[in-house]
Structure 1
Amino acid sequence: MYAWSTVTAIGFWIGTLLPIVYLPVFITGIDSVQALSLLFGLLVVHALALIVGHGYDGSRIR
């Protein structure tokens, strides 16, 4: 159970902080296939992190 709790916490915090990484991608522009692939990759990782981190107990007010 402790391992899953750790994975959930990591997923939550990645899902929370990952949008900060979008900013440099948008500032530099999406003018190549590599930049578009990076953006789609970030979106996939973000979605997975939100799914995994959804049950994080530390995110709820007690």
Structure 2
Amino acid sequence: MLEINKLAGYFLPCKITVYRDKGKIKVGMPKPSVLLRSLNNEELNTISDEIERRLMSAIQKSI
């Protein structure tokens, strides 16, 4: 991603937050697809969509 646009580094690495709220464990993250759309680069959009899909899959498998 950085080879495509160095500004993508502002959004990397993707953060995942795990916390307890009212007795329930919650997992969340800012969506890479939303963050990287601000760079207006179709190639980055495609990559960020795939990254988001993989992260969401990992989160779903962990809960």
More helix by share: 1
User: Which structure would you say has the larger RCO, counting Cα contacts within 8 Å and 6 or more residues apart?
Assistant: 1
TM-score, normalization by structure 1: 0.40
TM-score, scaled relative to structure 2: 0.39
Higher strand proportion (structure 1 or 2) = 2
Larger Rg: 1
